[in-house]
Amino acid sequence: MTELGVLDLVPIRKGGTARQALDEAVDLARRVEEFGYRRYWVAEHHFSALASAAPAIVAAQVLSATERIRVGAGAVQLSQRVAARVAEEWGTLSTLHPGRVDLGLGRSAGRADQYREALNRAPVETAVGVDEHPVVDGVVIPEPRDLRGLVDSARAAAGLALIAPPGDVPDYPSQVQQILSLRDGTFTPEGLVAPLHLTPGEGTDLLPWILGNSPGISAQLAGQLGLPFVANYHLAPGTTIQTAHAYRDAFTPGVLETPYLAVSADVLAAATEDEARRQAKPFLPWVDSVARGAGAIPVPGPDDVSAAAIRDLTARHSARVATRFVGTATRVTNRLRALADLTGADELIVTTLAHRHEDRVRSHQLIASAWR
C-alpha cells in the first residue's frame, strides 16, 4: 500500500503566536505518529506568519518528542545555505536519532528573478473556472500558472536577498554531491590528500531527498544519484506527471537500488462536506498572500472570510482550489488514490491548512483511518 507522510508548514493562526505554532508542531508530530503516518516533515519559509524558518531546530524538538516516525525537512533551500553546514546540522540530528532523519533538499535559486520577470510580461487574461481544468484519470492537471499580477516582487526579492549568501548562486548538483560525500566520508577538497571528516554525521544513515516542481534539474539529479524524490503536486500540479517521469527515466542505482517517488498534496478532511468547506475558507486569503510574494498571513478564522472574498479569490486561484482535496475522509482519500495511481507514487505527503490546530489534527486522523 502507498504510504502516507505529513508536511507541516507550522502556520501561525490569527490571534496566535509563533510559540503556540511551534508547540502545535510537536503535538501534531506526536499525533500523526500515533495515526500511523510514515514521516513528518517541516517546511522552510522566511519572513511570514509561519514558524518554520529554522527547520533543523524544529526537527530537533520533534525528534526528541517522538519515538518512531521519520522526521525531516521539506525542504532545506540549498541556494540559501552552505552545504557543509547543512550536512553538520542534519548529521548531528542523525547521530542523535539514528534511522529517523530525512534531509529534504530544495532548489529555490532564481526565484527573485522569476518575480521580476513576471512583472515584465503581459498578463494572461483567460480565466479558468474551478471545474474547467483538464482532468487525467480523475486527477486535475491544470496548465502551469502565470505569475503576472500575483507577486509583490519588491518584497519577495528583498526577503530572498536577505537570507541568501552574497555572490553567485551555489551550484545545486555540487552542493548535493558534497553533502553525500561528507556523509559517506569521501569528501576531499582540492589541494588535500585526505578527506575532511563530518563530525558528527559521517557514517550515519541520514537520508537525503530531492524535492522538485518540474522535470528539470532536481528530478534528473535525484534520478542520477539514486535518491528518493518528491514531486510537488500541491505547488506545481501542472507538471507533476512529467516530473515523475523525468525522475524515473533518469534513475540509476545509487543511495537507493530502485526509485522511490513521493507526491505531495494539499488536503483537508472533516466529518461532513459542509464542515470541511467551512474549515477550508481561510485557505484562499492565505494562499493569495503567499502567491503575491507578500508572505503568508496569519491563518484567519473561517468567519473572518467573506463570501465575496471567497468568490473573488476562487476566480484568481482556481487551479489551487481545484487541486486541493477537501471533503469527507472518503472523498479526500479517493482523490489521493487517484493521484497515487496516476503517478505511481510510493508515498503521498499531505499538508493541511486550517485555523484551528484541532481541525488539522482531526483531518490527519480521518484520512489515516480511511486510508488504512
**Per-residue pLDDT tens digits for 113-151:** 554 554 455 444 457 899 999 999 999 999 876 544 445
Fold of the domain built from segment(s) 3-371: TIM Barrel (3.20.20)
Give the three cell numbers for residue 106. Answer: 530544495
Q: What is the mean predicted confidence (pLDDT) over 266-276? A: 98
Q: What is the mean predicted confidence (pLDDT) over 258-263? A: 98
Q: What is the mean predicted confidence (pLDDT) over 97-122? A: 71
Q: What is the mean predicted confidence (pLDDT) over 182-211? A: 96
Q: How far apart are CA 263 and CA 346, in angstroms?
A: 8
Terminal Cα-to-Cα distance of the chain (whole angstroms) = 9
Q: How far apart are CA 226 and CA 241, in angstroms?
A: 19
Q: Is the pLDDT of residue 288 over 90?
A: yes
